[in-house]
Amino acid sequence: MSTTSRRTTLLLVRHGQTVRHAENRYAGVSDVHLTEEGRAQAEALGRWAAAHPVDAIWTSTMSRAVATAEPACRALGLVARREPTLRECDFGVLEGRTLAEFEQENPARAKAYRVDPVSYPFPEAEDPRTAAARGTHALRRIADTHPGERVLVVSHNTLLRLVLCTALSIPLGEYRRVLPSLRNAAVTELRMEDGAAALVSLNVPCGP
């Protein structure tokens, strides 16, 4: 009988800071670029990856995720696999805006969102349950593709929080309360084995 471990370690990373995040605006499916600080965060992630075992790198197809992964790819001599289903959620009418701005024009809907963001998503936004399902399927496929390996996965704040809740059996409607935010370019370690997931660490910074 083979004793080869099929446990895959997923090193989940939210991309570096963008101009919209610096202003607390929803970026969603808009293709926004990293700030100078975001590029520095990406370089710190690259140094972290060079000092830790990483066998493969996967990223969202969005440019801010690809740019965040580039220093790690250079450091390790790897080519990132770009996965469309790791993209961020579409936030509908909130794209490019802040929650405070939306609340001024629609306070009742904003209040409902704060209470349960899954049952009451923003108008014209992607259903968070649909986003959670596609993101979870992507991570399971990555884990199945790399049994026994350590994989760096660069994606997005809301998608990763939804996926973590799904993997850890936390009600999706609680994702904003349980996981207020994933820090830019910080590492969250998730171990996947036989369809089960275990959270090893959350929001570990790569820089000093």
Feature table: binding site for substrate: 64
15 is catalytic: yes
Query: Is the alpha carbon torsion for 113, 117, 118, 121 positive or negative?
Result: positive
Give the list of residues 6+ apart from residue 100 with CB closer than 8 angstroms, or none: none
21, 88, 146, 156: the active-site residue: 88
Cα 160 to Cα 167: distance, rounded to the nearest angstrom = 10
Q: Tally Cβ neighbours within 10 Å of residue 93.
A: 15
52 is catalytic: no
Query: Is the alpha carbon torsion for 121, 155, 29, 126 positive or negative?
Result: negative
183 burial (CB, 10 Å; 0-12 / 13-18 / 19+) is middle
Q: Are residues 60 and 86 in contact, defined by beta-carbon separation less than 8 angstroms?
A: yes
Burial state string for 74-88 with b = 16 or more CB within 10 A and e = fewer than 16: ebbebebebbebbbb
Supply the residues annotated as catalytic.
15, 88
